[in-house]
Structure 1
């Protein structure tokens, strides 16, 4: 579904990724792991078009989208949830979802489906997003992305800084999305256990380079932890 091939990208004169290649399987999950500063968020920003690589290519379903603008990638089925539980704080939960749904053919149905995935949000539909907990805002951010009906979802550390009970809910939802098919996921995550349960492929980044990769699953968890301990 998504192929990132030998991508070199950075900020101004500072190169962050040095020839990184990552593939996301169709209807599957690829997990990217690494310590802070390894280049994980930069990789997602390059994939969604917020950064333009100085070398390498990004392909979505076989199409070269390396020079496509972010809105063009969204139109082709890409959705991105950055770090920080982002939402419009002065709008209610319902208004945040409706803002994305407006003008979409299945907008109303998509909102209902997103709320089915995150039932806790229904109870706070009239509450301003700025008054939600961090975990609830993260659920809202993922729900907003799903309302767009993506074919591939890019998640940047969706469980970071969230209370354990909500982390479990987010993990269960992502696992359910991956299991039902029709959606590919590129997951940047610090929780190795969760990432290996969800992913068919994993990549470990260190200083902007892939230092380890392979098939996901519980059997890979030990190898990933060893790679991260180096």
Structure 2
């Protein structure tokens, strides 16, 4: 679904990513792990088109989208959930969702499906997003992205600062969404257990370079931890 080849990108004169290559399988999950400052969020921003790469290519389902703007990539089926449980705090949970739903032909049906995935949001639909817990805001952010019916979902640190019970719910939701094969996920994470529970393939970033990668087999967790300990 997603192929990134030799991607080099950064900010101003500072290069953050150095020739990064990875693939996300159709209907599957690829996890990118690494410490803070490794370039994980920069990778997602470049994949979506929020950051123009210096070199390299990005292909979505075989189409070269490297030169396309972010909104054009979204129209082709990409959706992005940034780090930090972002929402419009003064609007209710329902209003946050309707902002996206009203821009899509079947947005209300997609909104109902998203609420089915996260029942707590239905219960708290009338509460301002700023009064939700961190875990509830994260669920809201994912639900908002899913209303666009993406083919590829980019998730940036979805478990950061989230209570364990909600982490388990988000993990199960990712597994359920990809089980049917209609959605692919590029998951950026620091928590090895969560990432490898969901992903078929992993990549470890260190200082903007892939230092370890492979299929998620029986020895993946040990290899990832070894790579992260360097």
User: What is the TM-score when the length of structure 2 is the normalising length?
Assistant: 0.98
Q: Equivalent residue for 2:52?
A: 52
CA contact (8 A) 1:197 1:217 kept: no
CA distance in 2, matches of 1:125, 1:217: 40
CA contact (8 A) 1:193 1:218 kept: no
Q: Secondary structure at the match of 2:5?
A: strand
CA distance in 2, matches of 1:18, 1:103: 37
CA contact (8 A) 1:77 1:152 kept: yes
Q: Equivalent residue for 1:77?
A: 77
Deviation for aligned residue 1:164: 1.4
Deviation for aligned residue 1:217: 4.4
CA distance in 1, matches of 2:162, 2:196: 19
Q: Secondary structure at the match of 2:27?
A: coil
Q: Equivalent residue for 1:93?
A: 93
Q: Equivalent residue for 1:196?
A: 196
Q: Which runs of 5+ in 2 are unaligned?
A: none
Q: How does 1:101-180 map to 2 (within 5 A)?
A: 101-180=101-180
Q: Which runs of 5+ in 1 are unaligned?
A: none
Deviation for aligned residue 1:180: 2.4
Q: Equivalent residue for 1:207?
A: 207
Q: How many residues align?
A: 230
Distance 1:174 1:164, change over 3 A: same
CA distance in 1, matches of 2:78, 2:165: 28
CA contact (8 A) 1:7 1:19 kept: yes
CA distance in 2, matches of 1:178, 1:160: 21
Instruction: Work out whether 1:28 is the aligned partner of 2:12.
Output: no
CA distance in 2, matches of 1:34, 1:8: 17
CA distance in 1, matches of 2:134, 2:103: 28
Q: Secondary structure at the match of 2:41?
A: helix
CA distance in 2, matches of 1:21, 1:161: 29
CA displacement 1:81-106 (0-9 Å, x = unmatched): 00010011111111111110013121
Instruction: Work out whether 1:18 is the aligned partner of 2:18.
Output: yes
CA distance in 1, matches of 2:173, 2:38: 27
CA distance in 2, matches of 1:37, 1:193: 20
* Aligned residues: CA RMSD: 0.9
CA contact (8 A) 1:202 1:215 kept: yes
State the 4+ residue runs in structure 1 displaced beyond 4 angstroms.
none
